[in-house]
Amino acid sequence: MSAETASPSPEFSVEGVLELRRVCAEITAQANRTIDLLSNELDAMLYDQKPFLESIKQLALRSHQSRIRILLRDNSRAQREGHRLVELARQLPSNIEIRRPAEAHCQQSDELLIADGSGYFRRDERNRTLGFASYRNRLQAEQLGRRFEEIWQQGSNDSDLRRLHL
The C-alpha atoms of residue 59 and residue 42 are separated, in whole angstroms, by 19
Task: Please determine, for residue 161, whether its predicted confidence score (pLDDT) is greater than 80.
Answer: no
For the chain, the structural domain boundaries read 12-161
Tens digits of residue pLDDT in 133-156: 999 999 999 999 999 999 999 999
Burial class (CB in 10 A: 0-12, 13-18, 19+), 166: exposed
User: In this predicted structure, what is the pLDDT of residue 164?
Assistant: 41
**CATH number at 12-161:** 3.30.870.10
- pTM, rounded to two decimals: 0.90
CA distances to 20, 46, 58, 72, 84 from 17, rounded to whole Å, are 5, 8, 24, 21, 19
